Amino acid sequence: MTLTRKVILTAFAVSAMFALAQTAPPPPADAKQNEKNVAAGEVEAKRLLLLMDRDSNGKVSHKEFIAFMEEEFQKLDVNKDGELDVAELTRSRLTPHGGRQR
């Protein structure tokens, strides 16, 4: 292989590596922490499903969702003024309303 050809191939290789480095997404700062966050989100989603799923079919219908939110609002609105303030929201705790616990 001639010197000119080696230089050209090396230049192409360096250009390709540079282009890939520019387009590749950066690695996550902490992959293990990201996995923990995803797992925690899944746990919370399952917990909410158990709280909202009145007919125990493993899904939350629009009707179940709205009923759950209405009941939670009523429980949180301790002064019964039809509005939630910061104090009422900071006391928020989700509780089961029915349905089968899994």
Q: What is the CA radius of gyration of the chain?
A: 27
Q: Assess whether pLDDT exceeds 70 at residue 74.
A: yes
DSSP string, the chain: --HHHHHHHHHHHHHHHHHHHHHSPPPPS-HHHHHHHHHHHHHHHHHHHHHH-TT-SSS--HHHHHHHHHHHHHHH-TT-SS---HHHHHT------SS---
pLDDT value, residue 41: 86
| Residue ranges covered by each domain of the chain | 58-94
- pLDDT for the residue 97: 53
**What does the pLDDT look like over 48-65, one tens digit per residue?**
888 889 999 999 999 999
The pLDDT-based confidence of 72 (bands split at 50, 70, 90) is confident
Inform me whether the pLDDT recorded for 101 exceeds 50.
Answer: no
pLDDT over threshold 90, residue 79? yes
Are 26 and 35 a contacting pair, CB within 8 Å?
A: no
Mean pLDDT of the chain: 77
State the pLDDT at residue 7: 59
CA distance 36 to 42: 10
